[in-house]
Each structure stands twice: as structure tokens, then as C-alpha cells.
Amino acid sequence: PEASLKLAPWMAGLAVIGIIYGALVAFRQKDVKRLVAYSSISHLGFVMLGIFALNLQGLQGAILQMVNHGLSTGALFLVVGMLYERRHTRLLENFGGLWKVVPVLGALALVTMLSSVGLPGLNGFVGEFTILLGGFSSTAIGSPWFAGVAALGVILAAVYLFHMFQKLFLGPVTHEENLKLKDLSVREILILAPILIMACWIGIYPKPFFMLMAPAVEKLTALVQSAALLAH
């Protein structure tokens, strides 16, 4: 804990760089899978910030956000895989207007992206908001500016994910090949449904998840606090 306390501001700085850098690089991607991969770097920067806030809110938010990341980014990769199976390309320029052709896939992809963006009522919001609260009130980090800059990452996530959604699903169908695409099968819907149900559950009622992790996180924060008292 002594080393963690000493390095907390530096680790928070690296976390914020990861959040912003990952978001900017994600926005520049032309390949859908690469875009989702770089968005993953950005989201895990929030986890790092929450861990090194070294307080109850930050650590609980970080643990929950790791679960959220597995759900949201996992679902995004599944959506990308389903698109690739149909079209055998991942380039954004080869899509467009898919909402008219595959509306069920479009609707489920939209919920998945909103989950990743952190829309209130879905899992990403609970994790990121709790992390930012922990970051703002953290004595280990020593400055609310880290959390303030990290909050820009939430805005940037909306930019690159909605840019991706627009390129994939909105506008006119620009390629004739896309007119022949089949919508999701029952099997594919059943694969995505449990993930999206979990995303909604965490977003609407996260209390059971916080209660589950509370004993371990309270022990850890007590350890850090005792180390901080000894250091002073």
C-alpha cells in the first residue's frame, strides 16, 4: 500500500492519458474491430483511475467497470463478428444504411453502444460515474483535475461510437451487397440477450453488485488508510 500511495498521482496521470489517447485513436479507425479494440484501451483507463483513487467509491467503481467492460465490449465484438459473417469485411466504408436491412441487429447494436458510451440506465454509466466520484474525492491522487480530464473521455466515447453507428447503420444503403443481408437469427438473439439483460440490470439496480464487493473493498481501503497514517 505504501508504494501504491506514493505512485497514485503518476498512475492516475497514465490512466487519463490512456483514456484520451485510446479515444482519439479509436475515432481514427476505419476497421470496426480495431475501433472497438482501441475503445477498450480507453475504457480500461477508467478502471486504472478508479483503482488508484484508493477509496471506497473508486475501487468499487473500478471492479464494477471491469465487469461492465466484459459485457459491453464483449457484446460489441459479437456484433462486429455477426456483421463480418454476413459481409466478410470490417471496413466502415463498406457499410451504411443497415438499419433498413437488418433492423433487429441495428436495435441490439444500438443498446450495446449506449451501454459502452455510459448512458444513464445502463451498466457503463454506473461504473464510470462511481469511478469519477472516487477520483474527484481521492486524497491519494491529490487533485480533482485527473477526474475532470477523464470525464472528457466519456464525451469522446460518445463521439467515436456514434460515428461508428452512423457509418454502419444510418443513411442510405450505398452498396448493393448490403441489401441481401439477413437479419439476426434466433440463436444470435439468444447469444446477445443475456448480455444486454445484465447491462440493464446493473444500470437500473446495481446495489447487489456493490454489496457483494463491499467487504473486500472495505478491507483494502482500511489497509491503505492505515498505511497513509503511518506515512504521515
Instruction: Give the pLDDT confidence of 143-186 residue by residue, as tens digits.
Output: 899 999 999 999 999 999 999 999 999 999 989 999 999 999 99
Judge whether 28 and 101 are in contact, CB under 8 Å: no
Instruction: Look at residue 21 in the predicted model and tell me its pLDDT.
Output: 96
3-state SS assignment for residue 231: helix
Quote the DSSP letter at residue 142: -
What DSSP element (H or E) covers 118? none
pTM: 0.92
Judge whether 5 and 54 are in contact, CB under 8 Å: yes
Judge whether 163 and 29 are in contact, CB under 8 Å: no
Judge whether 76 and 33 are in contact, CB under 8 Å: no
With 0-12 / 13-18 / 19 or more C-beta atoms within 10 angstroms meaning exposed / middle / buried, residue 116 is: buried
Closest CA to 8 of 65, 77, 59, 70: 59
Average pLDDT of the residues of the chain: 94
3-state SS assignment for residue 31: strand
3-state SS assignment for residue 91: strand
Please identify which residue in the block is written with the cell numbers 483511475: 49
Instruction: Give the pLDDT confidence of 22-66 residue by residue, as tens digits.
Output: 999 999 999 999 999 999 999 999 999 999 999 999 999 999 999
With 0-12 / 13-18 / 19 or more C-beta atoms within 10 angstroms meaning exposed / middle / buried, residue 200 is: middle
